[in-house]
Amino acid sequence: MKIVTNIARAAAAAAGAIPRSHTLAGLDLLASAVVIVDAEGRIAFANAAAENMLESSLKALSRQRLCDLFSNPAEFEHVIAQARAHKFSDLRQELTLERPAREPLHVHAIASAMDEPDGNVLLELRETVQQMKLDREERLLDQSQVNKELIRNLAHEIKNPLGGIRGAAQLLEMELPPLHLQQLREYTQVIIKEADRLQTLVDRLLAPHRRPHIVGDVNIHEVLERVRSLILAEFPAGLAIVRDYDASLPEFRGDKEQLIQTVLNIAHNAAQALAGRVESGDAQITFKTRVARQVTLAKVRYNLALDLHIIDNGPGIPPQIRDRIFYPLVSGRDGGSGLGLTLAQTFVHQHMGVIECESRPGFTDFRILLPLP
């Protein structure tokens, strides 16, 4: 609290905002946002992290009351008032601060009254978005595992009688009276064709769990180059695939074929979504690789991770399915079976990684993070 006491003294000395002196320079090194409000609730000081969080400079902030920045100030004012009343030495609370025309700010706020007669209160604000994002990812992961288990069991149940249905329709076809053969054969053919279609679907649903996971040394750029040539073979004109590779990426242990399938499914979706732009000749998919440091993937912390992005400039994922694209059988395409991304997600999980997606018109980014040695 020593620095803070000095700050408060400086605050008392200066009319209005506290100038950024040597004493305060240290606070700019903090990752937490620090704001000091005076007895009137006006901002007397904001460190660099606070300026960043509030997207304004100290100079601009110092003319305002902190609570006026938010459209739901009551809770926040209460925290400050409580701290000022010295009811607690410091007061901690999770707050959601609503900002006009912006997304709300989720913060963990710690308010401490400063031991001065002026009634200054020091607020430390830490964004909890990161934590909330992690919680959400964890929830989605559990949910998708439960869903996949359910679908897999269901697929098994459907698979068994399918063979019987198809066989019986074939036998029936052989027994059809010659007189009505053509007419009735149409019906048995519907049964046989639909049984075959279901069979293919069920096989795809069960596929990722059938093939053994074959592990070897994988160079991610070889994977990407393979996918690039496959996609370009299918779309020889009007589609550019841009490579933005970090050549320093190390090899890692993984199943190369699975990773090719993963990237291919994502790139294939992108190419399909780009159909309109392929025609006008400015369709673009970017493969971008980077190293990420200190990341948490599926609850485990890694020092290094591969950060792969597959970005396209297509129309974006239809909003009505955006939250569900990784679920099986969810498709926004005519004739799509909605399994490509489910498979991609399963393979990424088998590599202890995570896959996420950000999409808006003109920019869709599938991001895959995989642990590196």
Ligand X SMILES: Nc1ncnc2c1ncn2[C@@H]1O[C@H](COP(=O)(O)OP(=O)(O)OP(=O)(O)O)[C@@H](O)[C@H]1O
Q: Smallest distance, Å, CB 358 to ligand X? A: 11
Neighbours of 156 (CB within 10 A): 12
3-state secondary structure 241-306: EEEECCCCCCCEEECHHHHHHHHHHHHHHHHHHCHHHHHHCCEEEEEEEEEEEEEEECCEEEEEEE
For the segment 240-279, give every residue that binds ligand X (CB under 6 A). Answer: 265, 269-270, 273
307 binds, among Mg ion, ligand X, none (CB under 5 to 8 A by kind): none
Q: Strand 121-127 and strand 239-244: pairing?
A: unpaired
Q: Which stretch binds ligand X (CB under 6 A): 43-51, 61-69, 294-302, 336-344?
A: 336-344
Nearer of residues 101 and 233 to Mg ion, judged by Cβ:
233
Report CA torsion sign: 200, 201, 202, 204: positive
Measured between alpha carbons, how far is 326 from 328 in angstroms, rounded to an integer? 6
Task: Give kind and range of the element (H or E) at residue 83.
Answer: helix 74-84
Q: Smallest distance, Å, CB 308 to ligand X? A: 15
Pick the binder of ligand X from 26, 164, 318, 319 (CB under 6 A).
318
Amino acid letter, 34: V
Residue 336 found at the interface with ligand X (CB under 6 A): yes
Residue 333 found at the interface with ligand X (CB under 6 A): yes
Q: Smallest distance, Å, CB 306 to Mg ion? A: 22
DSSP label at residue 65 = B
314 binds, among Mg ion, ligand X, none (CB under 5 to 8 A by kind): ligand X
Residue 332 found at the interface with ligand X (CB under 6 A): yes
> 282 — phi, psi (to 5°)?
-120, 30
Pick the binder of ligand X from 10, 43, 308, 339 (CB under 6 A).
339
Residue 341 found at the interface with ligand X (CB under 6 A): yes
What does the binding site for ligand X look like in residue numbers (CB under 6 A)? 265, 269-270, 273, 312, 314, 316-318, 325, 330-333, 336-342, 364
